[in-house]
Chains A and B, each alone.
Chain A
């Protein structure tokens, strides 16, 4: 069993839809949770970072962490074609250690 599980998709939605992306994990020591966006042949860029459980909102993006269920989510409201990319969840047990990534979910937002 992988430490972090993420459905690779692809996920295709119409423009304006609400997108829900999810990851599950098995290591209860994880405390730092991140979502990265990666465009084709580019390095990942940090979208959201959450420490421990709870919600965090930044513009159209909302990240949720449920440590009791070992489940994290990223919601994208009013999705745009420019949101089409691969979204990777990542997590670590401390804020200076290595990140464990999910496989990434490919999202396509159709105009």
Chain B
């Protein structure tokens, strides 16, 4: 089946630093990837949609300069949280659109803690 590998699973960083999260589609080509953020006991909130080779589309209220998304290949999309602050601490999850079944496969998530 379609597998999306997300790394790192957990990261702790200092305020003001940047953190990169990677999502790789292991056995399929992901032309579209979605990035979500999930706060404790809350739902997944879509942050942006990235299409290979083009600029990401951000949801309202999401700062594109703070959350940099790169989808340079059909198997890799990255989310970089720039100048991280404690309020950016959250669970970040990527999802890739596949052609199997319904089509959305999720990564295992990244727990970001900014101290």
Contacts and interface: CB of A to CB of B under 8 A. Distances in A.
A98 B93 contact: no
B101 interface: yes
B103 A42 contact: no
A62 to B, nearest CB: 17
A109 interface: no
Nearest to B44: A101
B6 A43 contact: yes
Contacts of B34: 98-99
A103 B46 CA distance: 13
A95 B102 contact: yes
Interface string A87-101: 010000001101111
Contact of A45 (B45, B102, B103, B106): B106
B43 A104 contact: yes
Contacts of B82: none
Contacts of B106: 36, 43-45
**Interface size for chain B: under 10, 10 to 19, 20 to 34, or 35 or more residues?**
20 to 34
Interface in B90-108: 91, 93, 95, 97, 101-108
Among A45, A95, A101, max chain B CB count under 10 A is at: A101
A42 B109 contact: yes
A107 B43 CA distance: 15
Contacts of A104: 41-43
Given A32-B102, A95-B102, A102 B109 contact: no
20 contacts: A34-B102, A42-B109, A43-B4, A43-B93, A43-B108, A43-B109, A44-B44, A44-B93, A45-B106, A46-B101, A49-B102, A96-B32, A96-B97, A99-B34, A99-B44, A99-B104, A101-B43, A101-B44, A103-B43, A106-B41
Interface of A: 6, 8, 32, 34, 36, 41-46, 49, 88, 95-96, 98-104, 106
